[in-house]
């Protein structure tokens, strides 16, 4: 292969990489995984030796603090939020109902590379094991409520968001 062809290939690959990186700005939330967890699913092996619940590197929030079974959202942030930041979870339980809103302080953050923020709809908020939200949205806000980052399920939105019908 000639030197000019390899330089052109390298230049094209570099341009594609730069355009891809610049094309989609980060939402600030790396990922969100969701699933229903039973009491046994949430328990850790260390609890057999110690009476206290231990979360490892994770920070766990629950809507009903004393209850552990429920529907959980696992997420990791791309960047650290402001010190006074809030994490807002909005959930649509069934069609034709307004979303329920849950607000959590981000004063505590996960430790290490693998630590996650874990949000649990627990107790009466958790639903049954076969329940899944119709739609959900997670937002990171500052103290004044300005949205810094957001991630949502496919079905989240309004007719205005989707355009004219």
Query: What one-character DSSP code corresponds to residue 10?
Result: H
Q: Is residue 47 part of a domain?
A: yes
For the entire predicted model, the pTM comes to 0.75
What residues make up the domain containing 100?
Answer: 27-162
Query: What one-character DSSP code corresponds to residue 50?
Result: S
Calpha distance 97→134 (Å, rounded): 10
Distances from the Cα of 50 to the Cα of 46, 47, 140, angstroms: 6, 5, 34
Calpha distance 88→96 (Å, rounded): 21
- Residues with Cβ < 8 Å from 140, sequence gap 6 or more? 28, 29, 77, 81, 85, 86, 87, 88, 106, 147, 148, 149, 150
Reported residue count of the chain is: 165
Q: Is residue 103 part of a domain?
A: yes
Virtual torsion, Cα 59, 62, 63, 68, nearest 10 deg:
180
Calpha distance 144→147 (Å, rounded): 9
Query: What one-character DSSP code corresponds to residue 44?
Result: -
Q: Is residue 96 part of a domain?
A: yes
CATH number of residue 121's parent domain: 2.60.40
Number of domains forming the structure of the chain: 1
Calpha distance 142→95 (Å, rounded): 30
Q: Is residue 14 part of a domain?
A: no
**Six token digits for residue 19:** 């355009």
Q: Tens digit of pLDDT per residue, the chain (165 long)?
A: 555 545 555 555 555 444 444 444 455 999 999 999 998 787 766 666 666 776 778 889 999 999 999 999 999 999 888 889 999 999 999 888 899 999 999 988 888 788 899 999 999 999 899 999 999 999 999 999 999 999 999 988 755 554 444
Q: Is residue 5 part of a domain?
A: no
């Amino acid at each position: 292969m000639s030197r000019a062809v390899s330089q052109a290939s390298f230049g094209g690959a570099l341009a594609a990489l730069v355009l891809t990186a610049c094309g989609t700005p980060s939402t600030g939330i790396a990922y969100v995984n969701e699933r229903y967890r039973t009491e046994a699913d949430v328990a850790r092996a260390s609890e057999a030796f110690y009476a206290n619940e231990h979360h490892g590197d994770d920070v766990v929030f629950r809507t009903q603090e004393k209850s552990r079974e429920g529907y959980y959202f696992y997420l990791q942030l791309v960047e650290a939020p402001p010190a006074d930041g809030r994490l807002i979870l909005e959930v649509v339980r069934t069609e034709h109902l307004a979303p329920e809103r849950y607000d959590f302080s981000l004063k505590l953050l996960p430790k290490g590379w693998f630590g996650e923020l874990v949000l649990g709809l627990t107790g009466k908020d958790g639903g049954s094991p076969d329940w899944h939200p119709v739609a959900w949205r997670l937002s990171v806000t500052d103290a004044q409520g300005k949205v810094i980052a957001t991630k949502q399920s496919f079905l989240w939105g309004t007719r205005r968001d989707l355009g004219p019908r």
